[in-house]
């Protein structure tokens, strides 16, 4: 008879086909999610022309998905800890695929907005679930790298929307890029069959035979025996309402700090995504140069996400994030000052790496912080609160742009949240987190430690 700590086994497993399969499926889901999020912006000029809506109304139509994402992240992140993660992921994929396609079948702006809100529930809900899935099953030494590699699929989805959008819209109209979003529905049976269930969930359900089979695939060195006793650490056996657990056992203050960091980072991400082109065009750059800056911003995001994840697996992830937020404050502030064109592109790339890329690393950090039993809930609530920053950013920065302030002041306004986020992350304590199961202090908690 063996006494098996299932999360310790997961922490020390060697990367194999089992891990590669989970990474591939989660990345594919994120690519589909990224496509659905980007498709409205790609088709917006054609939508405005077809429906005859003003820029203000078009902005509301696009932002309706952001409202849906806020509620979806909170609700569907929490639900996953009750019904199982693969089911929750399948529900999210069905929501954003069906209702994005439905949005392409309407010519009414109000119906379109309602469909995008419902699609947003799935777009926002899938994020905490795939992060929790990837965190739980990744070997400890490469955990942050695995999560950030997976999340880089967002950039791939956005680029796919841009590439397909140009050809499809010209040939078949804007509805075609929305209808194409229904194709991922075909993946649902394979996702339910291929993605393993959360280990604590299986243990709570008494499905030990299924759990042993997963453990054998995850760590081929383990041979299941009839008398094996499977166990998890105490913090992964939490009871009661999952939301309340985010504020118990000394996690309350750190949970609040995560919420502030998510809010501030998503504020920066959507401020730059919404206004970078307009600000640079207003500063005298050609529209072509301004659009190129958007591409550089997203390229920097991929580099920042993967590079940040790589560093987080070698140093304390909290310290890496504080440095990345500090870089965001500096690089965004400098965008408002006259520099040479090559230097400007470098600054834009750094801004993308330290905002969009940093947000992805922050997801990885939240995944490592919360015990497995409440991981989806913790990430979901942080993401949901953060979405309010995404909603406010275009409005706040748009108001400042309307005031005709100097360019420097606009970018400083976008950079200030980076300072607040850096302070918030620095104040997160590991004493009661999944990375310090025995109450170790921050200084003793390794950056790559995961749920035990």
Which CATH number characterizes residue 125's domain? 1.20.1250.20
Q: Kindly give, in sequence order, each residue whose CB lies less than 8 Å from that of residue 20, ignoring residues fewer than 6 positions away.
A: none
Residue 418 pLDDT? 95
Which of residues 167, 199, 232 is at a domain's end?
232
Do 228 and 162 share a structural domain? yes
Do 153 and 29 share a structural domain? yes
Do 277 and 220 share a structural domain? no
Residue 294 pLDDT? 67
Compute the distance between CA of residue 296 and CA of residue 163 in angstroms, rounded to an integer.
16
Beta bridge partners of 231: 5
Beta bridge partners of 5: 231
Do 250 and 226 share a structural domain? no
Residue 435 pLDDT? 53
Total number of domains constituting the chain: 2
Whole-Å CA distances, 429 to 22, 257, 369: 30, 10, 9
Do 316 and 174 share a structural domain? no
In terms of residue numbers, what domain contains 362?
242-444
Residue 278 pLDDT? 66
Residue 300 pLDDT? 86
Q: Does residue 437 surpass a pLDDT of 50?
A: no
Beta bridge partners of 229: 3
Do 318 and 438 share a structural domain? yes
Do 96 and 121 share a structural domain? yes
Do 145 and 282 share a structural domain? no
Mean pLDDT to the nearest integer, 426-440: 61
More confident residue, 139 or 241: 139
Compute the distance between CA of residue 424 and CA of residue 64 in angstroms, rounded to an integer.
29
Beta bridge partners of 3: 229
Q: Is residue 128 part of a domain?
A: yes
Compute the distance between CA of residue 409 and CA of residue 186 in angstroms, rounded to an integer.
48
Q: Does residue 303 surpass a pLDDT of 70?
A: yes
Residue 327 pLDDT? 95
Which of residues 212, 232, 252 is at a domain's end?
232
The pTM score is 0.74
Confidence bin at 371 (pLDDT 50/70/90) = confident
Q: Is residue 452 part of a domain?
A: no
Which of residues 232, 254, 273 is at a domain's end?
232
């Amino acid at each position: 008879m063996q006494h098996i700590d299932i999360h310790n086994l997961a922490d020390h497993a060697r990367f194999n086909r089992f891990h590669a399969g989970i990474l591939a499926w989660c990345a594919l889901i994120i690519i589909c999610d990224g496509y659905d999020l980007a498709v409205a912006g790609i088709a917006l000029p054609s939508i405005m022309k077809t429906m005859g809506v003003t820029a203000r109304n078009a902005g509301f139509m696009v932002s309706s998905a952001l409202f849906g994402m806020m509620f979806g992240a909170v609700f569907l992140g929490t639900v996953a800890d009750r019904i199982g993660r693969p089911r929750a992921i399948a529900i999210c994929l069905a929501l954003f695929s069906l209702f994005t396609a439905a949005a392409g079948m309407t010519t009414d702006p109000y119906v379109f907005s309602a469909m995008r809100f419902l699609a947003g529930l799935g777009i926002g809900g899938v994020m905490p679930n795939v992060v929790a899935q990837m965190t739980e099953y990744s070997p400890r030494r490469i955990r942050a790298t695995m999560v950030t590699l997976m999340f880089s699929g967002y950039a791939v989805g956005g680029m796919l929307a841009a590439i397909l959008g140009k050809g499809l819209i010209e040939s078949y109209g804007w509805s075609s890029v929305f209808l194409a979003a229904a194709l991922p529905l075909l993946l649902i049976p394979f996702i339910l069959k291929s993605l393993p269930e959360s280990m604590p969930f299986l243990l709570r359900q008494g499905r030990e035979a299924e759990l042993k089979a997963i453990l054998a695939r995850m760590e081929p060195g383990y041979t299941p025996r009839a008398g094996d006793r499977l166990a998890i650490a105490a913090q992964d056996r939490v009871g009661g309402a999952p939301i309340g657990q985010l504020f118990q056992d000394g996690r309350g203050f750190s949970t609040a700090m995560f919420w502030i960091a998510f809010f501030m980072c998503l504020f920066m991400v959507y401020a730059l995504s919404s206004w970078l082109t307009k600000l640079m065009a207003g500063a005298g750059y050609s529209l072509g140069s301004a659009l190129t800056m958007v591409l550089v911003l997203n390229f920097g995001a991929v580099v920042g996400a993967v590079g940040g994840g790589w560093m987080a697996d070698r140093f304390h992830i909290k310290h890496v994030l504080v440095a990345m937020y500090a870089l965001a404050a500096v690089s965004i502030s400098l965008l408002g000052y006259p520099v040479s064109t090559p230097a400007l592109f470098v600054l834009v790339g750094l801004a993308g790496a330290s905002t969009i890329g940093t947000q992805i690393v922050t997801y990885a950090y939240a995944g490592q912080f919360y015990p497995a039993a409440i991981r989806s809930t913790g990430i979901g609530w942080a993401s949901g609160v953060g979405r309010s920053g995404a909603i406010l950013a275009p409005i706040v920065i748009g108001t400042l742009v309307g005031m005709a302030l100097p360019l420097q002041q606009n970018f400083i306004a976008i950079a200030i949240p980076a300072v607040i986020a850096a302070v918030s992350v620095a104040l997160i304590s590991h004493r009661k987190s999944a990375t310090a199961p025995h109450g170790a202090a921050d200084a003793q908690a390794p950056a790559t430690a995961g749920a035990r």
